Structure 1
Amino acid sequence: MSPASTKASTTPVDADTRLAPGRPGYRRMSLALFAAGVATFALLYSTQALLPAVSAEFAVTASAASWTVSAATGALALCVLPLSALSERFGRRALMTVSLVVAVAVGLLVPFAPSLEWLVALRAVQGAALAGVPASAMAYLAEEVRPKALVAAIGLFVAGNSIGGMSGRIVTGWAAQLWGWRAGLAAVGLMAAACVVAYRLLLPRARHFTPASLNPRVLAGTVRTHLSDPLLMRLYAIGALFMTVFGAVYTVIGFRLAEAPFSLSQGVVGSIFLVYLVGTVSSAAAGKLVGRMGRRGALYVAVTTTAAGLLLSLSGSLAAVLAGLVLITAGFFAGHAVASSSVSRTAKTGRAQASALYQSAYYLGSSVGGTLGAVAFHAGGWAGTVLLGLVAVLGVVSITLYGTHSARVQERRVVRASRAGTPCAAAVARH
């Protein structure tokens, strides 16, 4: 027996030191990134439930008020890629910490904005600061968590996003009803600060991170590689389209529910976002769905659920509208969890940049969806917003069908090549 084989035989079977359920540090890591997700979404969408109040305060239209959301998500989309480069050099944990601290500091200034212009500007700065979290979190998980546990781990992080989005909107809604919308923003800032403290105390140090160069040419080459990957490009488009639906619906829903025939109060409108709990469940369960149906099958379920919710929300019944929001939320978070985890799994190098490109597309979709959703609502009412959402859903279906067709064509090529007994380099190509 050779020395190499002797060494292999004495090596423990479970030599992988990455985190997994049941291993030390996994629970702390999950709770820490859950807290980071809560803080990120609570701050990022802190004005969304308050848009009717902001619109009334500054005497502007719904589309103008929606820029307090779109500016934050747009700035995040622009900054996530350059910040991902910093995370490659200085570490995921450090960048996430700095980003969250800066975002909370700006969040405590936002309530004092003297005009809509100042409010939009501060929200843009806040979104730019928050870009460090999505720029680093997915890469941190891809490096520190075992592949089989990755979908579940990312699902928990996405679940933290959903809890943050829900709790932030509920807190701002009721605080605004009692003390005004500025108090609502201050309350979210304080809640996010508590989450950041918990995150910092809980998150384990990275054990598998290797610093990389900040060479712009290296970064540009990595980005070009990812943008030339057909599977990654489809995943980026899917993330953007899913978020276009979600951004449009949740930017406008407050205006619809505050108007006749519903005429709900600010606090009650904020409480509607309890449906985010459905997103918590669906994103955390995305791993099981993928295990049963495959990634494309899970995406088909997600888009069908989202489309059904959009159509149901056209009803004039409040119960039907709420049921529609439940379906939209479940479909969106499931689709997002599947697509984002697929990006981390697909990219073998430059994972931070791969995840950053996904996040850029994702939040660009949110910015575009929020703005176009408000414009569509102004032009055609809720039906206009739903139509916009259905067009985006159709885009997801088209991309997924194309991916399925490409995979089948590739399989047939591999089979023909194997029967002919010739090497087939395409057998390992990603489609």
Structure 2
Amino acid sequence: MFVGGFATFAMVYGPQPLLPLLADEFGIGAASASLTVSAAAAGLALMLIPGSVLADRIGRRQVMMVALGIAAVLACATAIAPDFGSLLVLRALLGAVIAGLPAAAMAYIGEEIAPNAQARAMGLYIAGNALGGMSGRFIAALITDWSSWRIALAVIGVLGLASAVLFWRRLPPSHHFQPRAATPARILRDTLAIYRDPGLPALFLVAFLAMGAFVGLYNFLGFRLLEAPYLLGQTAIGAIFLLYLVGTWASTLSARLADRHGRHKVLWIMVVVMGLGLALTLARPLALIIAGVGVFTFGFFAAHALASGWVGKRAGERRALGSALYLSSYYLGASVIGTVAGTAWGAGHWPGLALLLGACVLATGAVALYLRRLPT
């Protein structure tokens, strides 16, 4: 599951540091270039619920294996896209196909891992997401400095293929999966039950706002650091994505804190950490900007690990659909807020962007405080 999470984030977010290059290559603005990431996130958001329904019907393992394999082939194909429109179509298809893995992953962990180890298992899966996102971005930036963005995307695709082979060979079969009829009536009934829960819709809102702020920050960080007074190269900008290692640590640490103190007592604190990191990025010295991005990354991955694990607990037997709704909100936030952030960047550069992202973090904090008052 760690490898599956790694490959998903590497393929979906690998092109993120290349956005300034794509803007120059195709003669488009920053907001349009960000659609390269947003298209994949939108495909993910739209197909997560169908993916969860399919996983309920035919099995978690089968859906995850097929999704990862086809997505890796599509990732390779993006390297030969003839124009920006074709690139966006391939990226959207990649996101739609890879949705099968995260749609089934949380349900698989909930069914196959012992209850007293689920928080740690979820933390390890989220850590794979963080390491994949970091590695994909760093590798893409590094190779682009040596060669071209097309070669970089090809290497990300090959990395996805290698991950798919390892995933197919090592993922244990399901022992506790029980098929559920994928009828419209059952899906509607389960959806209504999920939205009647006092906590689940709030957790979906946390996913939308937090992920949107996170992607918005990283989408336009490269644009800022390419400009004066920083004038950093692609490799240097890609190295900043090594801060994802902080996210790997944060997701496992937050799981231990949740086991000890409860998710409701830890989540809002991690949102405050995100806010502090964002405030630091407003400073001019490069060291403070990097420190702020690191603090923000820590808070985000900790909050995501807490919220996603909480969804599985609250959704019960509907955990597959609950997880899909959570992740749909998560990737919809990446697509919508990540793209709107381009308008904020164009209007006010980094202060304008920070204002928008700060509003998202404040709203996330308000929701986390509401969740803190709910009975466990």
Q: CA deviation at 1:237?
A: 0.7
Q: Aligned residues: percent identity? A: 42
Q: CA deviation at 1:46?
A: 1.9
Q: Helix, strand or coil: the match of 1:285? A: helix
Residue 312, structure 1, aligned to residue 270, structure 2: no
Aligned counterpart in structure 2 of residue 61 of structure 1, from 17, 29, 33: 29
* 2: CA distance, partners of 1:405 / 1:334: 20
> TM-score by structure 2 length?
0.98
Q: CA deviation at 1:296?
A: 2.0
Deviations 1:344-403 (A, max 9, x none): 011112211010000000111111121012111111111111111111111111112223
Corresponding residue of 2:134: 166
Of structures 1 and 2, the larger Rg is shown by: 1
Aligned counterpart in structure 1 of residue 325 of structure 2, from 345, 357, 369: 357
* 1: CA distance, partners of 2:106 / 2:19: 30
Matches of residues 234-313 of structure 1 in structure 2 within 5 Å? 234-313=202-281
Residue 97, structure 1, aligned to residue 65, structure 2: yes
Q: CA deviation at 1:248?
A: 0.5
Deviations 1:112-148 (A, max 9, x none): 1111111111100000011001100000001111222
Q: Helix, strand or coil: the match of 1:212? A: coil
* 1: CA distance, partners of 2:31 / 2:186: 40
Q: Helix, strand or coil: the match of 2:284? A: coil
Corresponding residue of 1:208: 176
* 2: CA distance, partners of 1:181 / 1:403: 43
Which residues of structure 1 form unaligned runs of 5+? 1-32, 408-429
Aligned counterpart in structure 2 of residue 228 of structure 1, from 179, 196, 216: 196
Q: Helix, strand or coil: the match of 1:348? A: helix
Corresponding residue of 1:190: 158
Corresponding residue of 1:14: none
- Does the 8 Å contact 1:246/1:369 carry over to 2? no
Deviations 1:258-305 (A, max 9, x none): 111111101111111000000000001111111343212211221111
* 1: CA distance, partners of 2:257 / 2:274: 16
Residue 40, structure 1, aligned to residue 8, structure 2: yes
* 2: CA distance, partners of 1:170 / 1:363: 21
- Does the 8 Å contact 1:99/1:133 carry over to 2? yes
* 1: CA distance, partners of 2:371 / 2:306: 14
Q: CA deviation at 1:406?
A: 4.8
Residue 393, structure 1, aligned to residue 361, structure 2: yes
Deviations 1:170-214 (A, max 9, x none): 110011111111111011111111111111111100000011112
The alignment yields a C-alpha RMSD, in angstroms, of 1.1
* 1: CA distance, partners of 2:116 / 2:218: 33
- Does the 8 Å contact 1:252/1:377 carry over to 2? yes
Deviations 1:329-352 (A, max 9, x none): 000000000000000011112211
- Does the 8 Å contact 1:303/1:397 carry over to 2? yes
* 2: CA distance, partners of 1:285 / 1:402: 23
- Does the 8 Å contact 2:10/2:134 carry over to 1? yes
* 2: CA distance, partners of 1:300 / 1:219: 31
- Does the 8 Å contact 2:71/2:97 carry over to 1? yes
* 2: CA distance, partners of 1:405 / 1:163: 33
Corresponding residue of 1:147: 115
Corresponding residue of 1:325: 293
Aligned counterpart in structure 1 of residue 53 of structure 2, from 82, 85, 88: 85
Corresponding residue of 2:43: 75
The residue identity in structure 1 corresponding to 2:364 is: V
**More deviation, 311-320/369-378:** 369-378
Deviations 1:13-47 (A, max 9, x none): xxxxxxxxxxxxxxxxxxxx111011000001121
* 1: CA distance, partners of 2:330 / 2:245: 21
Residue 339, structure 1, aligned to residue 313, structure 2: no
Q: Greater relative contact order (Cα 8 A, min sep 6): structure 1 or 2?
A: 2
Q: CA deviation at 1:111?
A: 0.8
Aligned counterpart in structure 1 of residue 351 of structure 2, from 380, 383, 400: 383
Q: Helix, strand or coil: the match of 2:316? A: coil
* 2: CA distance, partners of 1:148 / 1:361: 27
The residue identity in structure 1 corresponding to 2:226 is: A
* 2: CA distance, partners of 1:103 / 1:225: 32
Which residues of structure 2 form unaligned runs of 5+? none
Residue 219, structure 1, aligned to residue 193, structure 2: no
> TM-score by structure 1 length?
0.86
- Does the 8 Å contact 1:80/1:132 carry over to 2? yes
Q: CA deviation at 1:236?
A: 0.7
- Does the 8 Å contact 2:119/2:259 carry over to 1? no
